[in-house]
Amino acid sequence: MKLTHMKLIGLSAVIAFTVCSFGAYAEESKEETYKNMNKDQIKGRVDEAQGKAKEETGKILDDKGMEVEGNVQKNVGKAQGNFGDLKKDIKQGK
């Protein structure tokens, strides 16, 4: 099996795992979580997950540009999610 085929198989596994994990998490606590989250928290968490998947894809494909782009997206998403957490805490008076 060629190295390229192995990388594509690995990429498929990473994408499938990410989608399944996020889907299972979302289904498990959808109602309770989304009622208590603001738009910054939701968008931040989604961007963080997408960035992580993109970063891992870049590692598997040995694509430094994609890896860096994913890392940036992941960290921006994390910051936005934390900003949403702070807004929620302020609104609740914590």
How many domains, in total, are found in the chain?
1
Judging by beta carbons within 10 Å of its beta carbon (0-12, 13-18, 19+), is residue 6 exposed, middle or buried?
A: exposed
- Give the helix ranges, DSSP H, for 36-63: 39-61
Query: What does the pLDDT read at residue 8?
Result: 61
| 22-70 per-position pLDDT tens digit | 555 555 555 565 678 899 999 999 999 999 999 999 999 999 999 999 9
Judging by beta carbons within 10 Å of its beta carbon (0-12, 13-18, 19+), is residue 3 exposed, middle or buried?
A: exposed
What pTM, to 2 d.p., does this model score?
0.64
Full residue range of the structural domain in which residue 77 is found = 3-92
